[in-house]
Amino acid sequence: MSRVVLISGSLRRGSVNSAALRAVRRIVESAPGAPEVISLPIGRLPFYDGDVERSGAATAVQAARALVADADALVISTPSYNGAVPGVLKNALDWLSRPDGASPLAGRVVAVLSASPSGRGAIDAQPALMDLLDACEAVVVEHPPVAIRRADRRLDAAGEMSDPEVLAALRGLVDATFEAVAILAGQRRSALA
Ligand code: FNR
């Protein structure tokens, strides 16, 4: 595992999903081999437009595609907006699902979590996100759902996710992600042999 890309479904500065991903970053960076961790700022992507795509796509889109194409795995954390993912996340996944037949998401390992101040931890957004990732032919990490409930109460004074229960769940998800990457790499090696 050499590179992990993080995507937060929330643009808010005080986002609990972004805080969860900062905790994921610390966990990944402390793993053996210290994989590189890069956050993908999806708020800079334009709205998907087929005309923009045909004319060569925006620089931000090209950079996002290149980042994902070079990643061993993605970790996405989403809030629930009315039971689904925020439009900004759907837009990013739509761009990353292109070009048809050469999407950087196809065959990419993706781990999913959600966080919310509510008692459900935005778990209701996870099926929609899984369906989107399936449609993009991503390899979704198999793991019991990680949905951080009452996430605003799990932050420390510095706004970081420091709750031991949350950190343990995130560690489990990161371990499962590393394992999925290793299994996929083994399968690809066997297919080439
Ligand atoms: C929400 N929120 C929300 N929460 C929830 O538990 N179920 C829901 O269906 C919704 N729907 C919803 C729609 C819209 C348009 C907004 C703006 C918000 C609340 C949402 O989960 C909350 O704002 C989270 O804090 C967002 O996560 P971040 O920004 O802290 O990462």
Output the pLDDT for position 126. 98
Q: Are the C-beta atoms of 113 and 149 separated by less than 8 Å?
A: no
Residue corresponding to tokens 């031991």: 164
Distance 80 CA to ligand 1 centre (A): 5
Distance 150 CA to ligand 1 centre (A): 12
DSSP for 84-153 reads B--HHHHHHHHHHT-STT--TTTT-EEEEEEE-SSTTTTGGGHHHHHHHHHHTT-EEPP-S--EETTGGG
Distance 153 CA to ligand 1 centre (A): 15
- Its pTM surpasses 0.95: yes
User: Mean pLDDT score of the chain, rounded to an integer?
Assistant: 96
Output the pLDDT for position 47. 97
Of 40-44, 54-58, 85-89, 118-122, which gets the smallest average pLDDT? 54-58
Residues composing the chain: 193
Q: Report the alpha-carbon distance of residue 22 to residue 94 in Å, rounded.
A: 24
Query: Pocket around ligand 1: residues whose beta carbon is below 6 Å from it?
Result: 10, 12, 15-17, 79-83, 116-118, 120, 122
Given pLDDT bands bounded at 50, 70 and 90, which one contains residue 1? confident
> Taking Cα atoms as reference points, which of 113, 112, 122, 129 lies closest to residue 149?
122
Output the pLDDT for position 167. 98
Looking at domain 3-192, which CATH architecture does it have? 3-Layer(aba) Sandwich (3.40)
Q: Is the pLDDT confidence value at 193 over 90?
A: no
Distance 139 CA to ligand 1 centre (A): 26
Output the pLDDT for position 56. 84
Distance 129 CA to ligand 1 centre (A): 15
Mutate which of 118, 123, 149, 161 for ligand 1 pocket (most atoms within 8 A of beta carbon): 118
pLDDT in tens, 9-21: 999 999 999 999 9
Domain spans in the chain, listed from the N-terminal domain onward: 3-192
Q: Which amino acid does the sequence have at 93?
A: L
pLDDT in tens, 103-153: 999 999 999 999 999 999 999 999 999 999 999 999 999 999 999 999 999
Output the pLDDT for position 158. 97
Q: Is the pLDDT confidence value at 174 over 80?
A: yes
